[in-house]
Amino acid sequence: MITVSIYHLDSGSIGGFLYEGHADAGEYGYDIVCSAVSALAIGCVNSIEMFTDAGFDEDAGDDGGYLKVILKPETAEDHDAQLLLKSMTLAVSQMAESYPENIRIRHIERKNYGR
């Protein structure tokens, strides 16, 4: 199962996210749930990097089952980055409704930027 943790800041903004695990919805290389979730996460990160002024720290696992992205505190309120993160959150939440046996969403309140 893929667990997606969305980190919410006191301000109401999204401070980052963590994708962990594997969907196990199909054979390796043919798992459409895994492919779709990966595309959402990677597309969001690439879009934040390309189209916004927000900075972030990223940690990706070697086996493809781990991606953690945390916005830098000084750019966490960047409007465009927030729009991209909210869009990703909406899309992955809708996928979790369709594939509850493969995707779980957790919303976590972060009081600070402790790693």
User: Quick one: fold of 2-110?
Assistant: Alpha-Beta Plaits (3.30.70)
Mean pLDDT of 50-78: 94
DSSP secondary-structure letter at 73? G
**For 7-62, how does the pLDDT look when each residue is reduced to its tens digit (9 = 90+)?**
999 999 999 999 999 998 888 888 899 999 999 999 999 999 999 999 999 999 88
Mean pLDDT of 98-102: 96
Contact 53, 78 (CB under 8 A): yes
Determine the Cα–Cα distance for residues 55 and 4; give it in Å rounded to an integer.
21
| Strands of the sheet with 66-71, listed across from one edge | 56-60, 66-71, 14-21, 2-9, 103-110
- State the pTM of this model: 0.91
> What is the rounded average pLDDT for all residues in the chain?
93
- Span between the terminal Cα atoms of the chain, in Å: 23
Position 24 scores a pLDDT of: 83
Residue 101 has pLDDT above 60, yes or no: yes
Domain boundaries, the chain: 2-110
**Is position 44 annotated as part of the catalytic site?**
no
**Residue indicated by tokens 């919410």:** 8
Query: What element of type H or E holds 44?
Result: helix 32-51
